[in-house]
Amino acid sequence: MSADVLSLGGSRDPDACPLGLCDGSGFVVDEATNTASDCRCRASRIARKRAASLEGRIPKRYRGASFDRPPVLGMPEPVVSAVRAYVRNLNARLQEGRGMWLVGDVGTGKTTLAMIVSGAALEAGHSVAIYSLPRLLNLIRDEVGTDNSLLDLLDRLSCVDLLHIDDLGAQHTTPWRLEQLYSIIDARYQSGRPIVATTNLMPDELAGQMGRRTLTTTVSEGGAGESSEERRVVSDDASEVVGRRIVSRLIEMCGDPLPLYGEDKRRELPVMARPA
Ligand SMILES: Nc1ncnc2c1ncn2[C@@H]1O[C@H](COP(=O)(O)OP(=O)(O)OP(=O)(O)O)[C@@H](O)[C@H]1O
Ligand SMILES: [Mg+2]
Ligand SMILES: [Zn+2]
């Protein structure tokens, strides 16, 4: 991932030393002794790099979203008001670790509203990581076995000012990945760092869904050594406890979920867009 995923503003050359002390490397070299020591810019340089390697951009589809335009103008007023109030007090909310979550039917505008919140946070100069849950879980899976990179990723996701998780509960996962997700959410819970999330499931359903997983077994069919894969969805008690722990923390951090129910607006779009 490139360093441009997060817009942090500032000088024209993002790598230049803001203090004018080092060559942009974060180290100051003492010519006389030929030794390098940390530049005073190094800590902020590291912090910026860490945040920059997370996905911190509003996806193209949601980039123009705003309170004073469709589709938000057509969304239920109580929910829009609650999101508007959150954005109005954004800095205070983020500071106190207060998040927000939107729950409801497919295609009712949950992601649109959540992206407005993330966009406002980016605009205000906060570091924001935006992931759909399936993507986040794949990212975690891909870091396995590469020494400290998994710990490093979990640490970055735990420390970013705002973590936006889209489509919570959209997918069955493995107990191990669910544990990693729990560790991120618990770290944020412990340190009072907020989460914005969207989901199709009410809290109790969400906990149950997280406890379910797809079991893949290889079935040998004898003969020429042929085999096939069999997939079953099974309930896992231990994972269900982890799911409940995650949901319990979300409720405390985000309060009651904002409900967005109704028809799937995506189904109406092609009709609306059809030329006369
Ligand atoms: N109230 C509305 N009026 C008109 N269009 C809407 C409304 N709500 C959402 N849309 C449009 O429907 C599409 C889906 O919106 P969005 O992705 O925010 O939904 P979602 O609730 O996150 O869906 P999912 O549960 O599938 O993730 C977008 O194109 C959006 O502009
Ligand atoms: Mg969505
Ligand atoms: Zn420097």
Residue 138, Cβ neighbours under 10 Å: how many? Answer: 15
The residue type of 61 is R
Question: Domains (ranges, CATH) in the chain?
Answer: 1-53 (no CATH), 54-273 (3.40.50.300)
Per-residue pLDDT at 7 = 34
The pTM score is 0.78
Residue 236, Cβ neighbours under 10 Å: how many? Answer: 18
User: Counting atoms of ligand 1 from 1, which one is nearest the CA of 200?
Assistant: 25
Name the residue of 103, 111, 115, 135 to mutate for ligand 1: max ligand atoms within 8 A of Cβ. Answer: 111
Please give the residue that has the higher pLDDT: either 223 or 214: 214
Query: Tens of pLDDT along 78-121?
Result: 999 999 999 999 999 999 999 999 999 999 999 999 999 999 99
CA of 103 to the centre of ligand 1 (A): 12
- Categorize the per-residue pLDDT at 46 as very low, low, confident or very high, splitting at 50, 70 and 90: confident
Query: Tens of pLDDT along 229-273?
Result: 777 777 778 888 999 999 999 999 999 999 999 999 999 876 555
Q: Name all residues whose Cβ lies below 6 A of ligand 1.
A: 70-71, 74-75, 106-112, 167, 198, 200, 265-266, 269
Question: Any bridge partners for residue 24, and if so which?
Answer: none
Residues, the chain, total?
Answer: 276
Distance CA 128, CA 6 (A): 8
User: How many Å from the N-terminal Cα to the C-terminal Cα in the chain?
Assistant: 43
Q: 25: Cβ–Cβ under 8 A, 6 or more apart, which residues?
A: 39
- Ligand of minimum distance to the alpha carbon of 46: 3
Name the residue of 72, 103, 108, 263 to mutate for ligand 1: max ligand atoms within 8 A of Cβ. Answer: 108
Name the residue of 103, 130, 265 to mutate for ligand 1: max ligand atoms within 8 A of Cβ. Answer: 265
- Ligand of minimum distance to the alpha carbon of 28: 3
Per-residue pLDDT at 153 = 87
Per-residue pLDDT at 216 = 73
Q: Which of 57-71, 176-190, 202-216 has the lowest mean pLDDT?
A: 202-216
